[in-house]
């Protein structure tokens, strides 16, 4: 089972549209308002602020995809701790961008690539992955709280202004797009409609410019991903694809699902999670939806292992992550915690799907 050029193009069209939609939301002040409210509600406690940061990153990832989290939310989370930016908040955006992208078929390009192979509905996919998503969020919060425990002991400087009201029109557009996606519509269609509507709204109000929206679309990256995906798709039809077919375990026992997830994690951090998904999907799909969802855990949650695990990791570095982190620390944190979280999430998936299917 491979993806043709048309399927890849539709997936990438969704990415372009959702990034324009997210940029328009940012230009309308949605993220800044949410970040300000989060900083006030936490009441000066760095630990509570981290909890809100993790929650906000998880929600933005689910609704607007992981790229919106790393590109647009990262600066907001860093700024939320005011005069003393916390590394934990910077890491919350990238860690949750990957780990929290398992919930909906539209939260990650990898999800869109495998969605059709699961045989599940939009709601069915979300229901199967809900416990995994919740456990991943809790695990990431526990990891960040422990890793940055010394930093989190100190309070942060709370905002003194009253803040602004949450822009209602952008939020309404996002909700309508989300409901349209849940209805089973081809994802790029409502995403494009939402991007045109909200982008036009931001242009009329002069909160955004054509250049801002075009930059957010990141067409060079979209073209690169399309070419890259096409090459990997061709590779899957060669003897290399046969090797991956033979390497993947057959079945949906706990041991098989764990092996699928761990193989996917290693592959994602060797060649990036998008090509890893294309290469590993055909053998996983033959074992059924549970195997495909285990694959997603490996390529999504497992992408936190190294910087090359996900394009989102590299975008995060450009969006402010490099100012508060080092390559060495990113990999120390990744190797110390990511494999364990992948194992826990896969175990939860096995237990939950055994119960509901």
Instruction: Tell me the DSSP string of 261-301.
Output: HHHHHHHHHHH-HHHHHHHHHHHHHTT-HHHHHHHHHHHHG
* H or E element at residue 340: helix 327-356
Mean pLDDT of the chain: 89
Task: Classify 163 as helix, strand or coil.
Answer: coil
Residue 178 has a CB neighbour count (10 Å cut-off) of: 18
Query: Is 55 inside any structural domain?
Result: yes
Using the predicted structure, report yes or no on whether residue 240 has a pLDDT greater than 80: no
Query: Is 2 inside any structural domain?
Result: no
Cα(334)–Cα(341) distance, integer angstroms: 10
**Nearest one of 99, 143, 114 to 345, comparing CA atoms:** 99
Query: Is 77 inside any structural domain?
Result: yes
Provide the domain count of the chain.
1
Query: Is 252 inside any structural domain?
Result: yes
Query: Is 224 inside any structural domain?
Result: no
Residues of the domain holding 320: 30-166+236-356
Query: What sign does the CA torsion over 144, 148, 149, 152 have?
Result: negative
Which position has the higher pLDDT, 325 or 192?
A: 192
Using the predicted structure, report yes or no on whether residue 82 has a pLDDT greater than 60: no
| 266-322 per-position pLDDT tens digit | 999 988 898 889 889 988 999 999 999 999 999 999 999 999 999 899 889 877 788
| Mean local confidence (pLDDT), 180-184 | 85
pLDDT on residue 255: 96
Which position has the higher pLDDT, 353 or 83?
A: 353
| 96-134 per-position pLDDT tens digit | 999 999 999 999 989 998 998 999 999 999 999 999 999
Distances (CA, A) of 121 to 127, 128, 177, 262: 10, 10, 17, 26
Buried b (16+ CB within 10 A) or exposed e, 208-240: beeebbeebbbeebbeebbebbbebbebbeeee
Query: Is 123 inside any structural domain?
Result: yes
| 313-345 per-position pLDDT tens digit | 988 987 778 888 899 999 999 999 999 999 999
Task: Classify 167 as helix, strand or coil.
Answer: coil
Cα(352)–Cα(304) distance, integer angstroms: 24
Query: Is 173 inside any structural domain?
Result: no
Query: What sign does the CA torsion over 341, 347, 351, 352 have?
Result: positive
Query: Is 24 inside any structural domain?
Result: no
């Amino acid at each position: 089972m491979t993806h043709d050029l048309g399927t890849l193009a539709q997936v990438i069209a969704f990415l372009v549209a959702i990034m324009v939609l997210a940029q328009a939301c940012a230009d309308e002040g949605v993220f800044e308002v949410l970040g300000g409210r989060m900083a006030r509600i936490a009441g000066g406690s760095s630990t509570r602020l981290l909890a809100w940061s993790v929650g906000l990153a998880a929600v933005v990832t689910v609704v607007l995809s992981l790229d919106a989290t790393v590109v647009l939310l990262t600066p907001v989370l860093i700024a939320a701790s005011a005069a003393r930016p916390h590394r934990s908040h910077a890491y919350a955006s990238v860690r949750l961008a990957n780990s929290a992208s398992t919930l909906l078929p539209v939260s990650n390009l990898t999800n869109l690539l495998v969605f059709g192979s699961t045989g599940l509905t939009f709601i069915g996919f979300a229901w199967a992955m809900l416990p995994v998503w919740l456990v991943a969020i809790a695990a990431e919060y526990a990891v960040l709280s422990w890793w940055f425990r010394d930093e989190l002991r100190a309070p942060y400087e709370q905002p003194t202004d009253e803040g602004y009201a949450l822009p209602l029109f952008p939020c309404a557009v996002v909700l309508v797009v989300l409901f349209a996606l849940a209805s089973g519509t081809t994802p790029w269609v409502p995403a494009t409609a939402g991007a045109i509507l909200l982008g036009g709204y931001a242009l009329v109000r002069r909160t955004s410019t054509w250049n801002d929206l075009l930059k957010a679309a990141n067409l060079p990256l979209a073209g690169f991903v399309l070419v890259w995906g096409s090459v990997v798709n061709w590779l899957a039809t060669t003897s290399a694809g046969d090797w991956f077919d033979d390497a993947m375990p057959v079945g949906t026992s706990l041991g098989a699902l764990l092996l699928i997830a761990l193989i996917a994690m290693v592959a994602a951090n060797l060649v990036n999670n998008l090509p890893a998904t294309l290469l590993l999907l055909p053998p996983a799909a033959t074992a059924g939806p549970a195997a495909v969802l285990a694959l997603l855990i490996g390529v999504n949650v497992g992408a936190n292992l190294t910087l090359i695990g996900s394009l989102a990791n590299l975008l995060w570095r450009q969006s402010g992550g490099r100012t508060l982190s080092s390559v060495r620390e990113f990999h120390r944190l990744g190797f110390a915690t990511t494999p364990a979280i992948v194992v826990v999430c896969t175990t939860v998936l096995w237990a939950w799907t055994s119960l509901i299917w």
